[in-house]
Amino acid sequence: MYRTAYKALALLLFLLLRNSVSIAQSTEPLEPEWLKKDVEGVSEVLKLSSFENQQIEALKEKLKDTWSVEEQDFGFGGRRLDLGKGNGYTKIYIESFIFNGQVAYYELGVESYSEEWSRIRDDVIEAWRKNGNVEYEVSEHRIAYRKTLNHVLQSYRNAVASELGEMKSVDVPDELRKSYEYLISFMQNAAVSDGGCGLSPGFPEGKVAIDELLEHKRYDLIENVLKGHNPGGRVYAMVALLEKKREGLKLGVKTQRVIQKIINLNIPITTCAGCFAYTETAKKVVRARRL
């Protein structure tokens, strides 16, 4: 009985101490210079709110010394371009998809994972209202503006379909929708692994997503992923179908032709061994699995 009471008292003291630390952290004064940078950053990113009108190569050259500039080749003339700059408690960013030099989609905004985000969010929103004339959406960690240039995006989709074939009309149940949409997304290039590394941004990562489709035996959805816009997703679909073929699943002639085309694509796919990440082509991924 005494031991139980002691444990209860110890737990109570621990919770009181943790709460007092949390309260102390939340009442610490903000760094004025950091907050100033965050507010100024809103104005800076909003100057690019007509991102589709930018000269992309010139903009990359202009920003390269003060912003991070990252690109991924998605093949068929498409590439993802990410721009970012850290300020005080926040980061300003642009995530975009470019097809043959034209902007097809972009999201720009302010992001923060700081413990102080809840204290400064209203200041950031107010700065947005004063400096921008574009609508914004507020999520847990972001304030963002998004725009899709449908005619450019459709041209990219047509380019993929002309090589790999059109995706079929399918019924996607709610429990599989998130996995399916992740695997066909034009803004994702899923990291291919056997479940480790945790390389893919967002949830669910590719291995989890493809396993969900396999568990439900939705080979029709997997064949659509094979023709989708996510290079890593296509490789996951290819590997899944080839492994099932080895187990006795019959693949149609058209599906086998698409698989062969994907194997021959020279698109870098992020993969890993242990904790080491590197890029491979689809052909090397298949060879490594001896499929």
In-domain check, residue 117: yes
CA distance readout (Å), 286 to 7, 65, 72, 182, 238: 55, 39, 21, 22, 9
Domain count, the chain: 3
What are the structure tokens assigned to 24, written together? 């102390």
Query: What confidence score (pLDDT) does residue 214 get?
Result: 97
DSSP string, 97-127: EEETTEEEEEEEEEE---TTHHHHHHHHHHH
- 133 and 230 belong to one structural domain: no
In-domain check, residue 160: no
Q: Residue 7 class from Cβ within 10 Å (0-12 exposed, 13-18 middle, 19+ buried)? A: exposed
- 193 and 107 belong to one structural domain: no
Are 92 and 44 in contact, with CB atoms under 8 Å apart? yes
- 142 and 182 belong to one structural domain: no
In-domain check, residue 127: yes
In-domain check, residue 224: yes
In-domain check, residue 249: yes
In-domain check, residue 161: no
In-domain check, residue 14: yes
- 3 and 66 belong to one structural domain: no
Query: Whole-model pTM?
Result: 0.85
- 113 and 212 belong to one structural domain: no
- Looking at 103, 120, 152, the residue that finishes a domain is 152
- 39 and 80 belong to one structural domain: yes
- 80 and 14 belong to one structural domain: no
- 124 and 16 belong to one structural domain: no
CA distance readout (Å), 165 to 193, 221, 270: 26, 14, 24
- 103 and 141 belong to one structural domain: yes
Neighbours of 222 (CB within 10 A): 22
pLDDT tens digits, the chain, 291 residues: what are they? 333 443 444 444 444 444 444 444 556 899 999 999 999 999 999 999 999 999 999 999 999 999 999 999 999 999 999 999 999 999 999 999 999 999 999 999 999 999 999 999 999 999 999 998 899 999 999 999 999 999 999 999 999 999 999 999 999 999 999 999 999 999 999 888 875 555 544 444 889 999 999 999 999 999 999 999 999 999 999 999 999 999 999 999 999 999 999 999 999 998 876 667 788 899 988 888 777
CA distance readout (Å), 122 to 27, 35, 91, 125, 240: 17, 12, 16, 5, 47
DSSP string, 233-254: HHHHHHHHHHHHHHTTPPPPHH
- 87 and 187 belong to one structural domain: no
In-domain check, residue 85: yes
Are 192 and 235 in contact, with CB atoms under 8 Å apart? yes
Host domain of residue 69: 32-152
Q: Which helix (H) or strand (E) holds 34?
A: helix 32-46
- Looking at 118, 152, 186, the residue that finishes a domain is 152
| Phi-psi domain of 123 (left: phi exceeds 0; alpha: psi -120 through 50; beta: other) | alpha
What are the structure tokens assigned to 178, written together? 């998130």
Query: What confidence score (pLDDT) does residue 6 get?
Result: 39
Greatest Cα pair distance, the chain, in angstroms, is 75
- 8 and 71 belong to one structural domain: no
